[in-house]
Chain A
Amino acid sequence: MNTTQLPVRPDVTAFVARVRELLADLPEEDRLELTEGLEADLADQVAEHGGGVLGDPEAYARELRAAAGFDPVARRRVRVPRGRSASELLDGVRGWWDDQVARPRVAPAWSVVVALRPAWWVFRAWVAAVAFCILVPGYTPWSLAWLPGVSPGVGLGVLAVCVVGSTLVGLGRLWPGSAPTGSRGVAARLLVVGLNVLALGVTSFAAEKVSDVQWERDRANGFYDSSWTKDLGVMNRGEQVCNIAAYDADGQPLVGVQLYDQDGRPLDVRCHGQQGRTVPWMLGDVTRWNVFPLGERAFPARRAAQREDLEGAAFPVPDRATTPAVTNPLVPAEAEAEPAPTRKKDDDRREGERRERDVSRR
């Protein structure tokens, strides 16, 4: 047995590498079996007969494969390599994720999340049930608000099936959740991930549907126009009015303005704790809350007895002492123009008097 030989020529190395490529579809063990020792054998041949014996590597590989009992040409085995790589990819992602949640700072929180898995199983079942109820043809208006579109019995039945199915998948007793983690097929793993992501995505859709139905119900019940908007009193730009500061057309503040709406109903200002916070005007011994400004108490008076005590109560200081004078085409011009000169005259007179005083002091 001759175990010593010359280094392999580069053309032999290249030839063997090409043959190996053409065997790439075979299992690694078979490929190794077929090409192990091939370099040595070919190097011997080349040493005996020259480089010309190498020939066409593809024909050579065909002959080798056929003689060894394989298909002469590589069969297209696309599915298996792709499945294998997808599986490896999933393993990689899973490994990365496990590393992330195993970090000391994350692990306690992650254990809580893991403990909450059953809640997720129920939730995703509800999402699936809502999606199913919406997609079922026909719309039943007297459904449960949180299972819209079908009658309550059907809705609860669908939900029950979904919860059982989701839980069985979660517990690993039903495909695609069956088989312990790590031995599941690529399709099952992708399906589990895909369905969970889908459930997350459909959640907003389900919530929107439920909220739409709820809103319709409330509106049908007159929820928005009667029951609670009545209690708000006078509103201004979405906020309750608590007090009113009135000015006349000349911009001077007014006290004791009685206000009514277009139907003659007294304006009703009704903030939180209005009766305890403000002091009403009186018509005889009847309180009038539509006369402004309302006096404001220093301290809230919750009980009737406390309301007798007016210590510290005063009219509020408006945010401005006066406001610019305004005009209206319906108000005659002379009536508008007349007071202005008067005031001007008064001002002039007062100005004059002050000058006189100043002069007299000097």
Chain B
Amino acid sequence: MDQTQLLKGVLDLAVLAVVQDEDGYGYDIVRRLREGGLAEVGDASVYGTLRRLYAAGALTSYVVPSESGPHRKYYGITPIGREQLARQRDDWHAFATTLDGLLAGPAAPAPARGASA
């Protein structure tokens, strides 16, 4: 299945996850996502998502001037962003578990919901 389609719903979660420990600038974040396995993530999608999370208050941003080139814009997570990350992580685990159960077939015993969170 095309990873791009799957990513649409969870790109926010992925972006919040890669900046939760360390601030990063746009392409830096793209690189972290790709190194983490999301090879097909589009950089424009990531930049747009950063902008949207920033507008929602989940990220903060600051510009670091450069002496010989364009400014770099760094993003860092805010308390709101951490809350959102925690909530969406739970949602994701629940969703993934449910889907795992479906994929395993009706014979398999249904695991307890949210047990692994």
Task: Determine if B9 is an interface residue (Cβ-Cβ < 8 Å).
Answer: no
Residues from chain A with a CB closer than 8 A to the CB of B114 are none
Binds A, one of B22-30, B85-93, B99-107: B22-30
Which chain A residues border B42 with CB–CB below 8 Å? 63
A34-B67 contact given A60-B44, A67-B44, CB 8 Å threshold: no
A64 touches B44 (CB 8 A): yes
Residues of B within 8 A of A106 (CB): none
Query: Is B70 part of the binding interface, using a Cβ–Cβ cutoff of 8 Å?
Result: yes
Residues of chain A within 8 A (CB-CB) of B69 are 4-8, 39-40, 43
Q: Given A36-B71, A41-B25, A43-B69, are A3 and B44 neighbors across the interface (CB < 8 Å)?
A: no
Return chain A residues, CB-CB under 8 Å to B43. 41-42, 45
B52 touching A69 by the CB < 8 A rule?
A: yes
Are the CB atoms of B52 and A41 closer together than 8 Å? no
Of the candidates A3, A43, A44, A68, the one whose C-beta lies within 8 Å of that of B67 is A3
**Chain B residues in 8 Å Cβ range of A44:** 27-28
How far, in Å, is B110 (CB) from chain A's closest CB? 35
B73 interfacial contact with A, CB 8 Å: yes
Indicate if A239 sits at the interface (CB-CB under 8 A).
no
Q: Is the CB of B64 within 8 A of A3?
A: yes
Is A66 engaged at the interface, CB distance under 8 Å to the other chain? yes
The answer to whether the Cβ of B49 comes within 8 Å of any Cβ in the partner chain is yes
The number of chain A residues touching the other chain, given as a range, is: 20 to 34
In the complex, number of A-B residue pairs with CB atoms less than 8 Å apart: 99
A4 touches B48 (CB 8 A): no
B63 lies within 8 A of A41 (CB):
no
A37 to B49, CA, bound (A): 14
Chain A CB within 10 Å — which of B28, B44, B48, B74 has the most? B44
Q: Which residue of the partner chain A has the closest CB to B56?
A: A69
A38 touches B26 (CB 8 A): yes
Q: Write out the residue numbers on chain A whose beta carbons fall within 8 Å of the beta carbon of B77.
A: none
For residue A39, give the distance in angstroms from its CB to the closest CB of chain B. Answer: 4
Contact across chains for B72 and A3 when beta carbons are under 8 A apart: yes
Q: A1-B64, A37-B63 are in contact. Are A65 and B30 (CB under 8 A)?
A: no
B5 adjacent to chain A (CB < 8 Å): no
Which of B47, B49, B55, B66 is close to A41, meaning CB atoms less than 8 Å apart?
Answer: B47
Q: List 25 A-B contacts (CB under 8 A).
A: A1-B64, A3-B66, A4-B67, A6-B69, A7-B68, A8-B70, A30-B51, A33-B51, A36-B63, A37-B26, A40-B26, A40-B27, A40-B69, A41-B43, A41-B72, A43-B69, A45-B43, A64-B44, A66-B48, A67-B45, A67-B46, A67-B52, A68-B47, A68-B52, A69-B55
Given contacts A38-B26, A64-B45, A67-B49, 8 further A-B contacts (CB under 8 A): A3-B65, A4-B68, A34-B51, A37-B26, A40-B73, A44-B28, A63-B44, A65-B48
The residues of B with any CB-CB pair to A shorter than 8 Å are 11, 25-28, 30, 42-49, 51-52, 54-55, 63-74
Smallest CB-CB A-B distances: 3 pairs: A67-B48, A37-B73, A68-B48
